[in-house]
Structure 1
Amino acid sequence: MPSTADPRTAARLTPKRLYGLLATAEMFTWGLLLLGMALKYGHVSDAFVPVFGGVHGLVFLSYCVVTCFVWVNQRWGLGRGLAGLASAFIPFCTVPFERSTDKAGLLEGGWRLGPDGDRPRGFIETVQAWCLRHPFPALILGLLFVAVVFSVLLILGPPVPRS
């Protein structure tokens, strides 16, 4: 039996889909970073840590931005939002956090501040509404933001002093 759902609706990037994608990517890059560290300290090669660490850092920052974006959209409480951010610091914790949040029904629905959605209240919701109503400029600005933060962190150096 053919589906009666609008294919454009099915293909939309919902909060649930976006958050699941970034949670999975963040968990995967944790694995790459730990693999690179195992290869380094197993005296196989030092070459993987900078590459895998860089990829993980970029995805980590993106996950944190998306967590804040979904936090505002879904109206999570302070505890849930902070737990979402904290899950990125613990290896392989983002997907279990995302699944428990989904199971609690806190990822359901679309973008409430989208073009035909709620009126924004406050500065943060106004910024999010603008992003949802102007996705391409918002994506460019978001990528620039992550790139600037990533570059500053690269200049500052690794989180653990080199010996």
Structure 2
Amino acid sequence: MSSIPAAPAALRLFRYVAIAEACSWAGLLAGMYFKYIAATGDLGVKIFGPVHGALFVLYVLGALAAGRTARWSTGTIALGLACAIPPFTSLWFERRMSARLATTGPATAA
């Protein structure tokens, strides 16, 4: 048995959404390449644009829920929300918060 307790559901969901949001960024960036650089069509943007938009909203909601569950400070929550904007930074933030949770526990992972 592990000495680290299982993460609450909100934190697990946040992890999954952060990973999915980063993957949708990759798809959207690839679609934008084919639309604007290679000029071969906009199918990728038509597919990944709405997917990324939905995952962006889920990431914001997940960050708020995870912040409440783990008792993150307001600054940490603001950083998590800001990390939804640049590509792939949601992964960095999620890994950072997971590492803090693993070493300090949810109440002090701010």
Distance between the aligned counterparts of 1:31 and 1:99, measured in 2? 18
Q: Secondary structure at the match of 1:88?
A: coil
Show the 5 A alignment for 1:93-132.
93-105=89-101, 108=105
Equivalent residue pairs, number:
101
Show the 5 A alignment for 1:29-40.
29-40=24-35
Structure with bigger gyration radius: 1
Distance between the aligned counterparts of 1:54 and 1:61, measured in 2? 11
Distance between the aligned counterparts of 2:64 and 2:105, measured in 1? 16
| Residue 28, structure 1, aligned to residue 23, structure 2 | yes
Q: Secondary structure at the match of 2:50?
A: helix
Displaced runs of 4 or more, over 4 A? 106-109
Distance between the aligned counterparts of 1:80 and 1:69, measured in 2? 13
Deviation at 1:27, TM superposition (A): 0.4
TM-score, length-normalised on structure 2?
Answer: 0.81
Deviation at 1:13, TM superposition (A): 6.2
- The question of whether the paired residues in 1 share the 8 Å contact of 2:11 and 2:69 is answered with no
Show the 5 A alignment for 1:13-162.
14-41=9-36, 42-105=38-101, 108=105
In structure 2, stretches of 5+ residues that fail to align are none
Deviation at 1:108, TM superposition (A): 4.6
Structure 2 letter corresponding to 1:44: T
Question: Which one has a larger percent helix, Structure 1 or Structure 2?
Answer: 2
Which of the pair has the greater relative contact order for Cα pairs under 8 Å at 6+ separation? 2
Q: Secondary structure at the match of 1:15?
A: helix
- The question of whether the paired residues in 2 share the 8 Å contact of 1:22 and 1:63 is answered with yes
In structure 1, stretches of 5+ residues that fail to align are 4-9, 110-163
- Aligned-pair identity (%): 34
